[in-house]
Structure 1
Amino acid sequence: MLVRMNYKYEMFPNEEQMETMNCWLSICRHQYNSALLDKQRFYQKNKTGLSRHALQKKQTKDKQRFKFLKTMPSQPLQEVFFRLEKAYKNFFEGRTRYPKLKKHKDYTSMTFTQFGVDKRKIKNKKTGDVNVQDVRYAASLDENNHLLISKLGAVYVNFHRPLEGKVKQVTIKRQSNRWFAIFSVERHVNETVDFPVQSTGVDVGIQKFAVLSDGSNVENPRFLLKAEKTLKRAQKKLSRMKQGSNNWKKQRQNVQQLHIKVANQRRDFLHKRSYHLAKTYKFVFVEDLKIQNMVKNRHLAKSIHDAGWGAFCRKLEYKCRNNGGALIRIKPHYTSQDCSSCGKRVKKALSVRTHVCQSCGVVLDRDHNAAINIEKIGLDLLGLSPTL
């Protein structure tokens, strides 16, 4: 079975290349905003949507009027409309809010949807002969770890780990003053993994990041909480400076770096924890939490976002799939209330952290009890027994 994976590497463009890519991002952002306004006006006038194909045809005509559109490859420009189409789809399916106009800080990446060198049959119009020739797309790699991009040139990429699989597309992303190449590859599932344990239930929380059904737990690192004092001081200093001045720009850069550091620490932690679980357990059961509803509680929102439950489950899901296992989400109803030993429902407030069953006398940590129930429900869904 084939799966899609992303590999992220830092790239090191020169000053001229950085200026060119910043210009390309600005063009893509303006195209996105223009297309969004066109769709809104078209709907107000005709009471129907404007399709992606119509926008692409309009862009082709615009290239004849606005020559700056020809200064960059066509693939990232066309991909803008795929992003807008996906944004509308997510809105109508209730996953996100209505699409909004993008600011400079909001549009930070562009995607080359075709990558590498492909063999094509090219017919000679004069002789009628058909020859097979290699055709290089707008983005490809050479043998010296350089990313070749049409109208930009060769950019060095630090391949700190092997790039496994067939590259299907590449995304160029600006992160503060650094640039990254994100390769989307297609590879086969690793079906040779020998899992030490059949399954586990995972209950995520705030006091402890996760508790497993075997009683082991993962401490919550609270990266944002630890950096909050430094962030507060830096943001206070920024607010006192004159907006737009050189010192203001430097301090804004410092604040961005602090936020990036926290995000990188959290991402690294989530990758390592999810990798360990995906390698150890064939089936991992988690609660299907409605995080968007949970963060409406203003007392818990910051802690929930800092923990990163949603990102953890997404990483764990694709890592399990790539190793031949599976992440299975179950309904969270009464997993903390029901006794994992006798099944009797023991109602308790969220502040009560210990499960005490009066019927069978079992005493467990609240999260450990929930993790056992999660695993039991998951195994029942799969028709499996608790042991191998």
Structure 2
Amino acid sequence: MLVRMNYKYEMFPNKDQMETMNCWLSICRQQYNSALLDKQRFYQKNKTGLSRHELQKQQTKDKQTFPLLKTMPSQPLQEVFFRLEEAYKNFFEGRARYPKIKKHKDYQSLTFTQFGVEKRKVKNKKTGKVNVRDVRYAASLGENNHLLISKLGSIYVNFHRSIEGKVKQVTIKRQGHRWFAIFSVERHVNETVDFPVQSTGVDVGIHKFAVLSDGSNVENPRFLLKTEKKLKRAQKKLSRMKQGSNNWKKQRLKVQQLHIKVANQRRDFLHKRSYHLSKTYKFVFVEDLKIRNMVKNRHLAKSIYDAGWGAFCRKLEYKCKNNGGELVRIKPHYTSQDCSSCGKRVKKALSVRTHVCKSCGTVLDRDHNAAINIEKVGLDLYGLSPTL
């Protein structure tokens, strides 16, 4: 079975290349906003949608009128309409809000949907013979750890680890003043993993990041809370400066770097925790939480976002799949209320952190009790027996 994985590496473009890529991002952003407005006007007039293919045909005509569109490769320009189409799809399926106009900070990446060198059959018009020759796409690998991009040149990439699998596409992403190349790779599932334990139930929380059904727990690092004082000080200093001045731009970059550091710390933590679970357990059972509804509580929203439950489950899902295991989402109904020993429902408020069952005398940490119940429901769902 094939799976998709991303490999992210830092790249080091020169000054001219950075200016060119910034210009390309601006062009793509303008194309996205223009396409969004065109779809809205077309619907108001005709009561029907404007398809991606019609937008691409219009873009081809626009290249004759606006030569600036010809200064960049066509793939990132066309991929703009894929993003818009996906944004509408997410909106209609209830996963996101209605698409909005993108600001400068909202559009940070260019995607080359084809990558590498491909052999193609080319027919000679004069002789009629068919020859096989190599065709290089707009993005491909060069020599000495360099990435070749059409109309941009060669850029050094720090390949700190090898790429396993076939590269299908590459995304160039701007993150503050740094640039990254993200390779989307197609590879086979690792089916040789020998799992030490059959299954576990995982209950995520705020006081403790996660509690497993065997009683072990993972402490919540609270990266945002630890950096909050620095962020407040930096943002307060930024608010006192004249917007648009050189000092304001420098201070804005400092604030941005603090946010990026917190995001990187959280991402690294989630990757390591999810990797450990995916290598240890064949079946990992978690609650199918509706995080969007939970963050409506203004007292808990910041802590929930800081914990990163959604990102943790997404990472855990693809890592389990890649290692031959499986992540199973369980309905969260009464997992904290029901007793894991006798099954009797013991109602308790969120502030009560200890489960005490008067029927059988079981006393457990609230999250540990929930993790055991999650595993039991998962095992029943698959018809498996618990491991001793």
Give TM-score, length-normalised by structure 2.
1.00
**Partner AA of 1:276 in structure 2:** H
CA–CA separation in structure 2 for the residues paired with 1:321 and 1:338: 30
SS at match of 1:248: helix
Where in structure 2 are the equivalents of 1:338-377 lying within 5 Å?
A: 338-377=338-377
Question: Secondary structure of 2:105's partner?
Answer: coil
Q: For residues 144 and 66 of structure 2, what CA distance do their matches in structure 1 show?
A: 36
1:303-362 deviation digits (Å, cap 9, x = unpaired): 000000000000000000000000000000000000000000101111110000011101
- Aligned to 1:385, the other structure's residue is in SS state coil
Alignment of 1:235-274 (within 5 A): 235-274=235-274
Shift of 1:142: 1.5
Deviations 1:117-151 (A, max 9, x none): 00000000011000111100000002311000000
The CA distance in 2 between the partners of 1:326 and 1:316, in whole Å, is: 9
Please name the residue that 2:76 is paired with.
Answer: 76
1:116 aligns with: 116
Shift of 1:387: 1.8
Residue type of the alignment partner of 2:260:
I
> Which position in structure 2 is the counterpart of 1:331?
331
Structure 2 counterpart of 1:92 = 92
1:144 is matched by which residue type in structure 2? N
Query: Unpaired runs of 5+ in structure 2?
Result: none
CA distance in 2, matches of 1:260, 1:225: 14
**Secondary structure at 1:186 match in 2:** strand
Secondary structure of the structure 1 residue equivalent to 2:154: strand
Partners of 1:46 and 1:362 lie apart in 2 by 65
CA distance in 1, matches of 2:329, 2:160: 34
Equivalences, count: 388
Name the counterpart of 2:221. 221
Aligned amino acid, residue 168 of structure 2: K
Partner Cα separation in structure 1 for residue 289 and residue 181 of structure 2: 32
TM-score (norm 1): 1.00
The percentage of aligned residue pairs carrying the same residue is: 90
- CA offsets 1:54-84 (integer angstroms, 9 cap, x no match): 0000000000000000000000000000000
The answer for the alignment partner of 2:171 in structure 1 is 171
Are 2:294 and 1:294 equivalent residues in the alignment?
Answer: yes
Query: Which structure 1 residue ranges, 5 or more long, are not aligned?
Result: none
Task: Write the mapping of 1:39-188 to structure 2, written as runs, cut at 5 A.
Answer: 39-188=39-188
After the TM superposition, which parts of structure 1 deviate over 6 Å for at least 4 consecutive aligned residues? Answer: none
- Cα distance in 2 between the residues matched to 1:174 and 1:29: 13
**What is the DSSP-based 3-state SS (H/G/I as helix, E as strand, rest coil) of the residue aligned with 1:62?**
helix
Kindly report the root-mean-square deviation, in angstroms, between the aligned alpha carbons of the 2 structures: 0.5
CA distance in 2, matches of 1:146, 1:165: 18
1:304 partnered with 2:304: yes
In structure 1, what is the equivalent of residue 279 of structure 2?
279
Distance in 2 (CA, whole Å) between partners of 1:14 and 1:340 is 60
Query: Residue by residue, what CA displacement relative to the aligned partner does 1:163-185 show, whole Å, maximum 9, x if unpaired?
Result: 11100000000000000000000
